[in-house]
Amino acid sequence: MLRNGLPLCVMACAAALHAGSTHDRDFFENSIRPLLVKNCHACHTSSRMGGLELDSREHLLKGGNSGPAVLPGKPDESLLIQAVRRTHPRLKMPPQAPLRPDEVAALELWVSNGAIWPETAAIPAQFANIRLYLRRASPALRSQLIQKDR
């Protein structure tokens, strides 16, 4: 049980800031996540084609059989960008049809800006429903936010 709600609020705000600015989170949630879900998740989540999962930043940085999918800040060196540009000698993604130029440009901008991948949705301005937020947060984030009473 928490003795004081202030440390929780401070840590929650710090975690939200670590996940990138509001603009970065909005860009990811409105442009990048839907693009990945539509074009990549069928093959690169639980089925892990090529050893690659595109369902978290951790998996993106770990990459698959060919190495890390993304090098944050380095779109030209990132396998994901080479694959969607179709400039990589082997990898051409998605395999069915190329992404639209605006979709490729969005991925390039995202990687250039550090490939921000918010772990959870932004924390609400008011903490009235913090318990629901914590229940929905990942175990890793929850463990950072919750201090056990000793």
How confident is the prediction along the chain (150 residues), in pLDDT tens digits per residue? 444 554 555 444 444 444 567 888 899 999 999 999 999 988 998 778 889 999 899 999 999 999 999 999 999 999 999 999 999 999 999 999 999 999 999 999 999 999 999 875 444 444 445 655 666 666 766 666 664 433
CA dist., res. 65 & res. 46, Å (int):
15
Residue 9 lies in a domain: no
Distance CA 44, CA 133 (A): 27
CB 117 within 8 A of CB 62: no
Structural domains of the chain, count: 1
pTM (2 d.p.): 0.67
Domain that holds residue 91: 20-118
Phi, psi of 67 (to 5 degrees): 115, -175
Give a yes or no: residue 10 inside a domain: no
**138 found inside a domain:** no
Please indicate, yes or no, if residue 131 is contained in any of the structural domains: no
Report yes or no on 52 lying in a domain.
Answer: yes
